[in-house]
Every structure is written in C-alpha cells, then in structure tokens.
C-alpha cells in the first residue's frame, strides 16, 4: 500500500540533505512493505479547492519560513487529491517491523462507506497531536481542510510572534473534543520515553539537532540499528 | 521557492537551424504553463537578449571557442539564469531542434515527472556512463533502471570511457533538450556569481556535467534522482535512431516530444 510524504523546496535550504533523507525514508518503508511516494504541490494543485485554500493559508502568520509553513498546510490537499490513505513526514522511520506491518494491515480492505474510523483522521503520533504519520480518507481530509480554512484553528503565538500551524490546529480540535481526530501512540518522537520500543520513530530536526545528530540521514540508520538490538 | 512550472529555451534568428519551424511548432502546440523564449532576434513575444551569444562564442570562428559545446552551454546557463530570476521551481528545457505534437505537451511531461513519486533532479531521456565502475550496488541500480524501461519508448543508452579496473562515480543524466529540471538543484550545483560565460567554458556539455555532479553527490542513488520519461524521446546523434525514426515516434503518438530534428520538418 502507498505511503505518501510531501516535499517542497524551501529557499535557503540545500536540497541535498532533504533528498538524502527522503531516499533513506523510501528505502526503509519499502523494506516493510509500503510503497513510498513523494507528493509535491503539483498534486495539491489538482485538488478543486486549491486556489481558495492556498490563498487562505498563505495569509496565516508563521514564525517559520513562509514556504515551509505553507507546505505544511498544502500537503493535506495533495494527500486528498491522491485519494487519502497513509501519509508520513519523511523523518518518520519504522523501527519495530512486526508492529508496523500490523499498522499497514489496519486499513487495507476498509469498506467504502463512512464508518466511525473511516470518517476520522487517524493521528499516530497522538501524544503531541503531531500529524507526522496519519491515515485518512479523502472526504475526511477535505472536511479537515474546510476547518483549517475557517481560520479558527491553530493560532498559537511563539515568543510574542503570531503563529498558526496545522499541528496546533489538530491539537485545538482534540482539546475541543472534535471527533474528526482519533489519536494513537504508535509513533514516538526520538528521545521521548520508550522511543526505542516504539513501532515507528519521528526523528525530527528539533530532537536531533540539539544532540548534534546531523545530518539526520547519516545518523538515523545507526540509531534504528541500536533500537532494534534492545 | 514557490512552485512555478515553465518551459524555457533559446529561439535562434530565422536564418539559423530551422528556427522558423521551431517557432511555428510551438505556436501550433501551445504549452499549458509559461513559455519563456529568449533570443537575440526580435521574435514577437520573445525576450530579447541585450547581447547576442555570438558576441562571446562566434560560430564563424569556432577556433576561438574554449570547446565545441561552449555556445550550447552558454545558451543553457543564460536560460537557467532567466529561470531563476523568474522564480520557476521546475522547467522543461527545449532547443530549436525539438518538435512537439500535442497541445499542453508540457503538462504531460510534468505529470509523468511528478507521478514517479520520487525526489527527482532530472526527468527525460536517461543516458548512463560508466555504470560498472563504482560498486556492485551501483551496477545493480543501473541494471534495474534499464530493465524497468526496456519495454518503454527506448532502452537506456549506456556508454563508458574507463576500463574495468578503474574506479569512477556513475554519471546519470537526461539528454539535455526536453528535460524536466529542478531549479533548486541548478542553484545548488552551479555557481552563477561568476556569470554564464564562465560556466559555459567548463569543458563538457552541460547535461553531461549535471550527470557528473549528481554522481559525485549521490553515487549509487544517482539512479534514484534521475527519472526516465516515456512521453518524450531525446537523443544526440543518429546512431540509435534516425531522424525519420524520431519523426515516426512523434507522428504515431508514441511520444509527444522529440529531439533532434535538424531540418524544417514539423508535425
């Protein structure tokens, strides 16, 4: 089954490390039976909602590079345009292979009607509401994008600077008890308690850089090997 | 970098190499995305260069050129500089001996490029050099790429210049004309601060140089960042296909773009 990720070049950031990380990500997910696939804005632009959605989210404030933040929003449309399924950040890697295969099996052969789970966005790094690994149907992604477009979700200022992100929007939806989000703890952030025993690990820049573990594509394979030996 | 697609190329003056056929062909089969043509001649709707490329590399005095690819290189780097200024994220590079055969042919190329679902630097008609001179894994990757494409528009031409005992990084690239190119990578690989003439003087064709630069960065993974597109066929020379073969590929619908056509023929 397909596992999507989203990539967009960000000005000022060398594409080399990103490409190396994506290639490593593809290799690791292929090894556990997924078909990794890189989405871009080309796919997002196929979505009928693109023009309106892009105009709205481009105006959201961010402490990050505008292109980076915009990509975080726009990836949802690309994901929907491809019909939904699984989507992961390209710094989330499988660690416990058997458990990952179970996750892969979870949503295969799902009925086409919209049952309870089908109509919810499954967030696998549920502890922090981070959409680093998700499953969703196209219709539910569109519902989420409508909520994003309302502008009512995701505003959380950082050190006095205005900031709005899809992760905070998801967090807000969870706090408000909106049933569109369902959380799991299958993916754990690198360095968090029990990460070595987790089926999949999110090797985010924020968790790796302070420890000097850069470039990530060079460091991740040995971290995974060590975790698998435990 | 915002996501912006375009086709870019040099339009020679009418007296050079079937330029009128090239312009007529592009008019007959317009692109979906932006088309940026540049020239030292006053073609309507074409960006006029301040200085003819012949000012630097005069075709009448080839003995003064640093090498025989200098003028083509200069045209390419001039195009890339314009593409950077225009903020394009990905471009299709065309030359005046390209011909196309479908309205919106550029979208078909971009669609195939992005539908591969891989982080690509280049997409087009792939060429490989020295596949057996780096590692077993590199050779396996080359083999897989050739096998995957053997039933498509054309097997992947593969050449070499070093013997079996020499170590050499793989050189994988797409034949320059009718390539989809990631502009982020053009800016990563080439230093435009010294100007296009300096870049053009580098002693090999620009597409071959891209292949070398990719090989030196990615080694075995070079085969993962260069994608073969079945919708076009671009070659250099008439050894594998004749011009008639290529014309047939275009008129039969096997491809929507071909290179090279050295006369006034157009579909």
pLDDT at B69: 86
Using CB atoms within 10 Å of the CB of residue B159, give its burial: 0 to 12 exposed, 13 to 18 middle, 19+ buried. Answer: exposed
For chain B, helix (H) and strand (E) counts, in that order, are: 9, 13
% of chain A with per-residue pLDDT over 70: 93
User: Do B249 and B152 form a contact (C-beta atoms < 8 A)?
Assistant: no
Residues of A in contact with B83 (CB under 8 A): none
Strands of A43-138 (E only): list them: 84-88, 92-94, 121-125, 130-137
Cα–Cα nearest to B16, from B54, B62, B49, B63: B54
Q: What is the largest CA-CA distance in chain A?
A: 49
CB of B107 less than 8 A from some CB of A: no
Compute the nearest-CA separation of A177 from chain B (Å): 35
**DSSP 3-state assignment of B173?**
strand
Distance CA B66, CA A32 (A): 52
User: Do B113 and B174 form a contact (C-beta atoms < 8 A)?
Assistant: no
Task: Select from A14, A23, A39 the Cβ nearest to the Cβ of B188.
Answer: A14
Compute the nearest-CA separation of A14 from chain B (Å): 7
Distance CA B191, CA B186 (A): 9
Pick the residue of B88, B117, B215 with the most A CBs within 10 A to test the interface with A by mutation: B117
Q: How confident is the model at residue A99 (pLDDT cuts 50, 70, 90)?
A: confident
Mean pLDDT score, A98-127: 70
Q: How many CB atoms lie within 10 A of CB B27?
A: 10
Which of the 8 DSSP states describes residue B159? E
pLDDT at A48: 98
Q: How many CB atoms lie within 10 A of CB B241?
A: 17
User: Do A43 and A78 form a contact (C-beta atoms < 8 A)?
Assistant: yes
Exposure class string for A31-50: b at 16+ Cβ within 10 A, else e: ebebebbbbbbbbbbebebb
**DSSP 3-state assignment of B182?**
strand
Q: How confident is the model at residue A213 (pLDDT cuts 50, 70, 90)?
A: very high
pLDDT at B148: 86
pLDDT at B226: 97
Compute the nearest-CA separation of B138 from chain A (Å): 15
CB of B85 less than 8 A from some CB of A: no
Please tell me which residue of chain A has the smallest CA distance to B84: A11
Residues of A in contact with B188 (CB under 8 A): 14-16
Give the residue, B65 or B161, on which the prediction is more confident.
Answer: B161
Distance CA A77, CA A146 (A): 11
Compute the nearest-CA separation of B147 from chain A (Å): 19
CB of B184 less than 8 A from some CB of A: yes
Pick the residue of A19, A21, A28 with the most B CBs within 10 A to test the interface with B by mutation: A19
pLDDT above 70 (res A110): no
Estimate to the nearest angstrom the gap between the alpha carbon of B43 and the chain centroid.
23
Estimate to the nearest angstrom the gap between the alpha carbon of A176 and the chain centroid.
21
CB of B119 less than 8 A from some CB of A: yes
Strands of B101-205 (E only): list them: 122-124, 126-129, 158-159, 171-174, 179-182
Distance CA B113, CA B123 (A): 6
Best-predicted range by mean pLDDT among B10-24, B111-125, B136-150?
B111-125
- Count the alpha carbons within 13 Å of A177 in the hemisphere toward its beta carbon: 0
Task: Select from B3, B118, B121 the Cβ nearest to the Cβ of A41.
Answer: B3
Distance CA A74, CA A44 (A): 7
Sorted by sequence, the CB contacts under 8 Å of residue B79 that are 6+ apart come out as B8, B9, B10, B36, B38, B91, B93
CB of B158 less than 8 A from some CB of A: no
Residues of B in contact with A41 (CB under 8 A): 3
User: Do A18 and A11 form a contact (C-beta atoms < 8 A)?
Assistant: no
pLDDT above 50 (res A211): yes
Distance CA B97, CA B60 (A): 20
* Structure tokens that stand for B85 in this block: 């200024």
Cα–Cα nearest to B228, from B124, B128, B142, B112: B124
Distance CA B71, CA B74 (A): 5
Inter-chain residue contact B1 with A23, CB threshold 8 Å: no
Q: How confident is the model at residue A115 (pLDDT cuts 50, 70, 90)?
A: low
Sign for the CA dihedral angle at B94, B98, B103, B104 comes to negative
Matching residue, tokens 């006053």: B42
Phi-psi region of B154 (alpha: psi -120 to 50; beta: other; left: phi over 0): beta
Q: How many CB atoms lie within 10 A of CB A225?
A: 10
CB of B110 less than 8 A from some CB of A: yes
Give the residue, B149 or B119, on which the prediction is more confident.
Answer: B119
CB of B182 less than 8 A from some CB of A: yes
Inter-chain residue contact A42 with B118, CB threshold 8 Å: no
Inter-chain residue contact B221 with A23, CB threshold 8 Å: yes
A-B contacts (CB, under 8 Å):
48
Mean pLDDT score, B12-30: 94
Give the residue, B237 or A103, on which the prediction is more confident.
Answer: B237
Distance CA A223, CA B52 (A): 56
Q: How confident is the model at residue A109 (pLDDT cuts 50, 70, 90)?
A: very low
Mean pLDDT score, B241-263: 96
Give pLDDT tens digits for B149-207: 876 778 899 999 899 999 999 999 999 999 999 999 999 999 999 889 899 988 799 99
Compute the nearest-CA separation of A194 from chain B (Å): 32
Q: How confident is the model at residue B211 (pLDDT cuts 50, 70, 90)?
A: very high
Q: How confident is the model at residue A104 (pLDDT cuts 50, 70, 90)?
A: low
User: Do A61 and A164 form a contact (C-beta atoms < 8 A)?
Assistant: yes
Cα–Cα nearest to A64, from A166, A171, A139: A166
pLDDT at A111: 43
pLDDT at A96: 87
Mean pLDDT score, A109-126: 71
Which of the 8 DSSP states describes residue B8? E
Which of the 8 DSSP states describes residue B38? E
Residues of A with CB under 8 A from a CB of B: 7-11, 14-16, 18-20, 22-23, 26, 36-43, 45, 67
**DSSP 3-state assignment of B93?**
strand
Mean pLDDT score, B73-83: 96
Pick the residue of A15, A58, A88 with the most B CBs within 10 A to test the interface with B by mutation: A15
Per the prediction, chain B carries an average pLDDT of: 93
Please tell me which residue of chain A has the smallest CA distance to B182: A9
Cα–Cα nearest to B170, from B202, B207, B203, B141: B141
Q: How confident is the model at residue A51 (pLDDT cuts 50, 70, 90)?
A: very high
Which of the 8 DSSP states describes residue B49? P
Task: Select from B89, B218, B224 the Cβ nearest to the Cβ of A9.
Answer: B89
Quick one: which H or E segment has residue B186? helix B183-189
Inter-chain residue contact A40 with B3, CB threshold 8 Å: yes
Q: How confident is the model at residue B90 (pLDDT cuts 50, 70, 90)?
A: very high
Which of the 8 DSSP states describes residue B193? G
Estimate to the nearest angstrom the gap between the alpha carbon of B248 and the chain centroid.
21
Inter-chain residue contact A19 with B225, CB threshold 8 Å: yes
Compute the nearest-CA separation of B89 from chain A (Å): 8
Mean pLDDT score, B98-108: 98
Compute the nearest-CA separation of A77 from chain B (Å): 15
ipTM of this complex: 0.94
Inter-chain residue contact B119 with A43, CB threshold 8 Å: no
Mean pLDDT score, A154-174: 95
For the ranges B51-60, B131-140, B149-158, the lowest mean pLDDT is seen at B51-60
% of chain A with per-residue pLDDT over 90: 80
Distance CA B223, CA B203 (A): 24
């Amino acid at each position: 089954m397909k596992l999507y990720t989203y990539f967009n070049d960000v000005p000022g950031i060398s594409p080399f490390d990103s490409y190396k990380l994506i290639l490593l990500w593809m290799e690791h997910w292929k090894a556990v039976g997924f078909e990794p696939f890189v989405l871009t804005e080309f796919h997002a632009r196929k979505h009928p909602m693109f023009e309106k959605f892009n105009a709205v989210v481009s105006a959201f404030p961010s402490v990050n590079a505008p292109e980076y933040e915009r990509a975080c929003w726009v990836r949802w449309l690309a994901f929907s345009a491809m019909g939904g399924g699984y989507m992961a950040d390209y710094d989330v890697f499988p660690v416990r292979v058997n458990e990952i295969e179970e996750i892969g099996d979870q949503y295969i052969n799902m009925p086409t009607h919209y049952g309870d789970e089908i109509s919810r966005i499954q967030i696998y790094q549920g502890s922090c509401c981070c959409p680093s690994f998700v499953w969703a149907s196209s219709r539910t992604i569109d519902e989420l994008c409508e909520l994003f477009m309302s502008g009512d979700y995701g505003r959380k200022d950082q050190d006095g600077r205005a900031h709005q992100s899809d992760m905070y929007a998801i967090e807000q939806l969870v706090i408000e008890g909106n049933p569109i989000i369902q959380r799991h703890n299958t993916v754990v952030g690198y360095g968090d308690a029990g990460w070595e025993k987790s089926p999949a690990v999110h090797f985010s820049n924020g968790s790796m850089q302070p420890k000097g573990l850069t470039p990530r594509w060079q460091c991740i394979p040995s971290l995974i090997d060590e975790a698998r030996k435990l | 970098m915002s996501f912006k697609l375009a086709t870019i190329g040099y339009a020679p003056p009418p007296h050079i190499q079937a330029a009128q056929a090239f312009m007529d062909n592009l008019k007959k089969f317009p692109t979906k995305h932006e088309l940026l043509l540049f020239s030292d001649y006053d073609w309507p709707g074409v960006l006029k260069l301040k200085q003819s490329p012949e000012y630097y590399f005069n075709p009448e005095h080839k003995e003064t050129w640093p090498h025989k690819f200098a003028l083509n290189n200069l045209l390419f780097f001039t195009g890339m500089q314009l593409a950077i200024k225009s903020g394009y994220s990905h471009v299709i590079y065309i030359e005046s001996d390209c011909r196309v055969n479908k309205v919106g042919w550029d979208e078909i190329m971009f669609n195939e490029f992005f539908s591969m679902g891989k982080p690509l630097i280049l997409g087009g008609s792939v060429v490989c050099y020295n596949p057996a001179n780096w590692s077993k894994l590199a050779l396996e990757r080359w083999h897989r790429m050739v096998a995957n494409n053997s039933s498509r528009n054309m097997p992947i031409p593969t050449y070499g210049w070093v013997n079996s005992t020499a170590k050499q990084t793989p050189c994988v690239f797409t034949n320059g004309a009718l390539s989809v190119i990631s502009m982020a990578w053009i800016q990563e690989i080439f230093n435009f601060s010294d100007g296009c003439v300096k870049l053009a003087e580098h002693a090999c064709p620009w597409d071959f140089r891209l292949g070398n630069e990719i090989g030196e960065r990615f080694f075995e993974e070079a085969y993962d960042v260069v994608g073969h597109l079945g919708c076009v066929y671009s070659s250099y020379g008439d050894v594998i296909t004749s011009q008639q073969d290529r014309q047939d590929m275009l008129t039969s619908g096997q491809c929507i773009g071909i290179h090279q056509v050295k006369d006034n023929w157009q579909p």
